[in-house]
């Protein structure tokens, strides 16, 4: 049991240490892998697929939340005859909704505001994200700042709407993460 925990902690420290690497260090190897190795240039795959596996911050946040769930809940369900899958689906997952909503909102914000990734992987104008389109408009035209601010406001509307609908769950997920017991 001790070796298993020690290995788990070593992997967790390794995952957390990736947070210390700036994106600029991994940008060139990732772009070579995605564009040349996987032939994902001018597709949304390099923007979507890495996000499906979660970031180190997501893993940290969810781990801290799952550590606050008492083991007695799963022990009681196991005594009642529930399988591991049933324990996860019926007990753990409903309790984790605030943390999952928090991770979802943070992931959406990161993907929505990401500028460098789409700039690297998307060369066709019709594939550009809103951030790239806004920058292209600013550099191609004499800047009418009133139009730029209107476009930037429209750019933030989905984020505001998402936060409005998920506000209660988001706040609960932030406040409950890291609380023991």
pTM of the model as a whole: 0.77
Please name the residues in contact with 14: beta carbons below 8 A apart, sequence gap of 6 or more. Answer: none
Give the model confidence (pLDDT) of 94-136 as tens digits.
Answer: 888 888 888 888 888 888 888 888 888 888 888 888 888 888 8
- In order of start, what are the domains of the chain with their CATH numbers? 2-176 (1.10.3720.10)
Looking at residue 4, its pLDDT comes to 63
| pLDDT tens track for 67-84 | 888 888 888 989 999 899
Cα–Cα distance, 11 to 94 (Å, whole number): 27
Spatial distance between the Cα atoms of 48 and 69, rounded to a whole number of angstroms: 30
Per residue in 13-39, pLDDT (tens digit) is 898 898 888 888 988 998 999 999 998
d(CA 128, CA 90): 41
């Amino acid at each position: 049991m001790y070796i298993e925990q020690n290995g788990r902690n070593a992997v967790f420290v390794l995952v957390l240490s990736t947070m210390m690497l700036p994106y600029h260090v991994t940008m060139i190897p990732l772009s070579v892998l995605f564009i040349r190795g996987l032939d994902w240039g001018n597709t949304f795959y390099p923007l979507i697929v890495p996000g499906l596996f979660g970031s180190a911050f997501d893993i940290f946040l969810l781990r801290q939340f799952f550590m606050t769930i008492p083991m007695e809940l799963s022990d009681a369900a196991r005594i009642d005859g529930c399988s591991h899958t049933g324990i996860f689906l019926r007990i753990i997952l409903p309790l984790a909704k605030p943390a999952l909503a928090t991770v979802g909102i943070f992931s959406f914000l990161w993907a929505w505001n990401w500028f460098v990734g789409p700039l690297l992987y998307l060369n066709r104008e019709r594939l550009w994200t809103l951030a790239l389109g806004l920058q292209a408009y600013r550099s191609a035209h004499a800047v009418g700042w009133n139009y730029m601010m209107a476009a930037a406001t429209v750019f933030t509307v989905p984020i505001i709407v998402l936060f409005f609908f998920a506000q209660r769950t988001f706040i609960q997920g932030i406040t409950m993460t890291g609380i023991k017991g």
